[in-house]
Amino acid sequence: MAFDENLKVWMDGEFVALKDAKINVLAHVVHYGSAVFEGIRCYETENGPAVFRLQDHVQRLFDSAKIYKMDIPYTQEEICDAIVETIKVNNLKGCYIRPITYRGFGELGVNPLNCPVETTIAVWEWGAYIGEEEMEQGANIGISTWRKPAPGTLPVLAKAAANYMNSQLANLEAGEHGYDEAIQLDYHGHVAEGSGENIFIVEGNKLITPDLGSSILRGITRDSVMTIAKDLGYEVSEETISRERLYLADEVFFTGSAAEVTPIRAIDNRQIGIGSRGPVTKELQEKYFDAVYGRSEDIHNWLTFVE
């Protein structure tokens, strides 16, 4: 992925060219990973660029910051407005959006309270996260030896930078073994999520996804797909999922702001269902893209138009 160094990023109220956007090497975030962030997408619709579930993402950013006692010195409305302005300034019709709040330079030491809380927003063009071909044919996935943190270690409901060191290990291992991505188990050995995605299995006309007690992020795309599935008449359940149920499922797919709705064709070299995108995944994928691209009525008020 190549970045245009002249892209404008929003840094605490000012627009700065990406090449000039800098933080101090002694910033707390560099040494201790003290940051929370969001991944959001803006889609090109017939009525102009539209950000998908902007307010929900910003709410989760503030929730993550609250868990880590980071007081963001802006209101949620101000961050939403800054995101829209950043898209406008860069004249992008469709893009990925990364707001990140982090501890800056104050003093070193584990205690972060004497370090300022700073926020940056960046936008860039980004296609299918796992791959364009995999969106139709399905991804080849392996179950990682690296498990998700247990409760009482790291709060997984916070979308925090430090959590993704765990995800990196799983993703690196998957690549070394020839897989497109990893599935991680929780501390009990039950299915949790991908390294950066939530996961669903399909059994007949029932969709099942791990519950929030399975060390997963409360995914916004996850919630969107659950809502769409219920609108279509599917039964949707959040529950504990054993590893072997993945192998026996009719269909399995990932969801996420980056991954969108990505089917899975194989797990641990075992074919899943028909070995490519199944009919339920296809329907949900199509309805999801209808929603984000504004091709269907926005009955849930998910779109925020940039213009």
pLDDT (tens digit, 9 = 90+) per residue, 2-19? Answer: 688 889 999 999 999 999
pLDDT category of residue 131 using cuts at 50, 70 and 90: low
153-170 mean pLDDT: 96
Which CA distances in Å does 67 have to 77, 147, 233, 243?
Answer: 20, 22, 36, 30
Strand partners, 41: 96
The Cα 252–Cα 187 span in angstroms is: 21
Higher pLDDT, 136 or 130: 136
Q: Contact, 207 vs 227, CB < 8 A?
A: no
Active site residues: 159
pTM: 0.95
Those residues with Cβ within 8 angstroms of residue 182's Cβ, 6 or more apart along the chain or in another chain: 141, 142, 143, 144, 146, 170, 171, 173, 174, 194, 195
Higher pLDDT, 63 or 130: 63
Q: Name the nearest CA neighbour of 61 among 125, 106, 120, 136.
A: 120
Q: Contact, 299 vs 239, CB < 8 A?
A: no
Is residue 193 pLDDT above 80, yes or no? yes
